[in-house]
Amino acid sequence: MQILDWVVVSAYFALILAIVWRAARHQDTTADYFLAGRHVSWFVVGCSLFASNIGSEHIVGLAGSGANNGMAQAHWELHAWIMLLLAWVFVPFYHRSGVFTMPEFLERRFSAQTRWVLSVVSLVAYVFTKVSVTVYAGAIVFQTLLPETFGSPDNAFWVGAITTVVATGLYTVAGGLRAVVYTEVAQTFVLLLGSALITVLGLAELGGWDQLIAACRPHAAEFALWRPNSDPNFPWLGVMIASPVIGIWYWCTDQYIVQRTLAARSLRDARRGAIWGGFLKVWPVLIFLVPGMIGYGLHRKGVLTIPPRPDAPGELLGDAVFATMVQALLPVGLRGLVVAGLLSALMSSLASLFNSCATLFTVDIYEKLRPGRDERTLVRVGRWATGAVVACGLIWIPIMKSISERNTGLYDYLQNVQGFLAPPITAVFLLGLFSKRVTAPAALWGLIAGFAAGMTKLTLQTLARSGALPAGTLLRAAGDFNAYYFAGVLFLFSVVLVVTISWLTPAPAAAQVEGLTYASLTPTQRAENRASWGAAEVWGTVLVLGLVLAIYLYFSFWLA
């Protein structure tokens, strides 16, 4: 990093601070702080959805996955079609209900107990996945780009982790969701530009797309989009079962994402924003995953050196690929721009996460325990809740760092853990929207049993990979069972459990489910839904689906 690079990074931060200062002036009510006054346009909603999703764990982890596994995890990055489900299937119910959180929606559909369970599960999930993974990925960038600036690479790792958390936490605490979504508009375009630059320059250094194919073709079995079912890590059937289950949970039911649509000023803005976000979501395969494969090709060519994994010197530390490419390929000034893009990704994801955690804790837990508190008190509690979640995430980082280095990479770790948490939540939401016969006890026990099963699998898998469980035992076999197949098994288990208990318990009263399932919509509500979309939404949906299909078709045969 040279002086000009730091000037570029500083200019970026000055822009962010200006946006935060403007957004932070009116934060007196919970609607202001947690939902930006419910006055966000579709363009801002879509940018915020994209920037919240594409954190540094995506840039760092997805590039690492590209270097180690080729296109194996592209399926998760082609979830633009699931964002269309958010737009057309889920958003109308969320927006009409006027809720602040997803657990609050579950309470309206089922019971207060389901709200409690989802709130706790969501906060635990954020610590195990989003907080620790995002901060760890940002720290890897510092460790690679500034290895000696703070005395040693390890010092750079921890300085990067703590500094980015504190800086992002401060502006999130000050400005609430309004600061988050409007900074994410700027971050979206810095992120896209920076990642596109590293892709284009890396490809030019490698010698073009044909050279990338030539570098990957000898490893076609390891780099293919579709792997045989005998593959221990990415069997195609397991991936195609697990990725939609995880995707529907993440994009359609998770507070971290859905909160952006709840802040929209109208149902049309919420729907159109989700479609616009789906269009943006098409591009990560090309500007985050492909650079990892380019980095692998450059490493084989001798243009740059990717460090080895600490526990397996013969294999590459994939999570260091992107930062290594930035360091080796980019000229002064552009390097600063791409680093600003990496920081954008880190800060946008963290800021979204902090605000979502504060919303969940304040609205779904604190306000239930201490009803009747004034608006300023609730905003203050939300700010303190942010700090607590950050502290938990920092504590988990050393453990997650060890797991990631002994796994197939940061992104694989993320999808594995999400696959243990998502299935019961996905099952409860889908069944709850599409069947008015599903009951509150069924939803409650589906969530509890599913969460317990997922955490048991996570524990056994961690112990199995660390060698703590002896080979040949039943527990070791359970720990070694492919995580993506397990996600499918857990989803099926949750569906069967919820349906069975629903038929064994009395059906909910008609008044309880009115307007909260497709079968119970009133004629007026159906008319409101129809009035919220037109030709622009339809053609936007067709465009997104066409792009997803085109990418699937090309990369299914690109190494043939």
* The total number of structural domains that make up the chain: 1
- Give 535's pLDDT tier (boundaries 50, 70, 90): very high
Give me the mean pLDDT over the 21-42 stretch. Answer: 62
Tell me the pLDDT of the chain averaged across its residues: 80
Give the integer Cα–Cα distance in Å for 359 and 400: 25
Give 312's strand partners. 309
- Which residue, among 436, 432, 541, has the nearest Cα to 88 in the 3D structure? 541
175: pLDDT strictly greater than 60: no
What's the pTM?
Answer: 0.82
**What length is written for the chain?**
560
State yes or no: pLDDT of 17 exceeds 70. yes
Q: Which residues contact 420 (CB under 8 A, 6 or more apart)?
A: 454, 455, 457, 458, 483, 486, 487, 490
What number is the average pLDDT over the span 94-112?
Answer: 86
Q: What is the 3-state secondary structure (H, E, C) of 233-256?
A: CCCHHHHHHHHHHHHHHHHHHCHH
**Residue 143 reports pLDDT greater than 80:** no
Which domain CATH number covers 444?
1.20.1730.10
Model confidence band, residue 532 (pLDDT cutoffs 50, 70, 90)? confident
Which pLDDT score is estimated for 144?
65
Structural domain for 336, as ranges: 3-557
Spatial distance between the Cα atoms of 499 and 87, rounded to a whole number of angstroms? 26
Band of residue 24 on the pLDDT scale cut at 50, 70, 90: low
The C-alpha atoms of residue 276 and residue 84 are separated, in whole angstroms, by 9
CA dist 260 → 5, 45, 106, 181, 353 (Å): 32, 6, 18, 8, 12
pLDDT in tens, 429-475: 999 999 989 999 999 999 999 999 998 988 888 788 777 788 888 88
Q: Which residue has the tokens 């199995």?
A: 464
By the 8 A CB rule, do 151 and 71 touch?
no
Q: Specify the range with the lowest mean pLDDT, choosing from 327-341, 461-475, 544-558.
A: 327-341
Q: Is the pLDDT of residue 251 over 70?
A: yes
Report the 10 Å Cβ neighbour count for 103.
25
Q: What is the mean pLDDT of residues 40-52?
A: 84
